[in-house]
């Protein structure tokens, strides 16, 4: 049984490495030139810069939103699991998790990361 698992594992690794090597050899090589990297506006030269500056504040708020969105998905199973475990462990675990979330929110608020304008 162990031999079969070992052989299948090695075979999987060999096939994966072979596919990765073949794909890197056969991949279309692209060479960057000035015309391909420049923006295209209906055959005319662009009026302004196509590389507009990105708001770092917006990026920070988007990342914070994603973090809290993931935390909400971790909070959703708390209610249905109440019937499976003891009430003491459920209260301790959910309270501990909520305290961690609130401390993180307070830290972000205290650092001014949630302020849109300065």
Render pLDDT for 1-28 as a digit per residue (tens, 0 to 9): 889 999 999 999 999 999 999 988 887 6
Compute the Cα dihedral for 104, 109, 111, 117 and give only its sign.
Answer: positive
Contacts of 33 (CB under 8 A, 6+ apart): none
- Summarize pLDDT for 25-62 with one digit per residue, the tens: 887 666 666 666 666 656 666 666 666 677 777 888 88
CA dist., res. 44 & res. 102, Å (int)? 53
> What predicted TM-score, i.e. pTM, was given to this entire model?
0.49
How high is the pLDDT of residue 109? Answer: 87
- Residue holding tokens 């590389």? 51
CATH code of domain 2-111: 1.20.58
What tens digit of pLDDT does each residue of 87-98 get? 999 999 999 999
């Amino acid at each position: 049984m162990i031999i079969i698992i070992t052989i299948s594992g090695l075979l999987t690794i060999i096939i994966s490495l072979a596919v990765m090597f073949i794909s890197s050899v056969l991949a279309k090589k692209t060479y960057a030139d000035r015309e391909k990297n420049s923006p295209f506006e209906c055959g005319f030269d662009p009026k302004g810069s196509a590389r507009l500056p990105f708001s770092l504040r917006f990026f920070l708020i988007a990342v914070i939103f994603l973090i809290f969105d993931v935390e909400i998905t971790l909070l959703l199973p708390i209610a249905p699991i109440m019937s499976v475990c003891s009430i003491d462990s459920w209260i301790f675990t959910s309270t501990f998790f909520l305290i961690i979330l609130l401390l993180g929110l307070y830290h972000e608020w205290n650092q001014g990361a949630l302020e849109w304008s300065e």
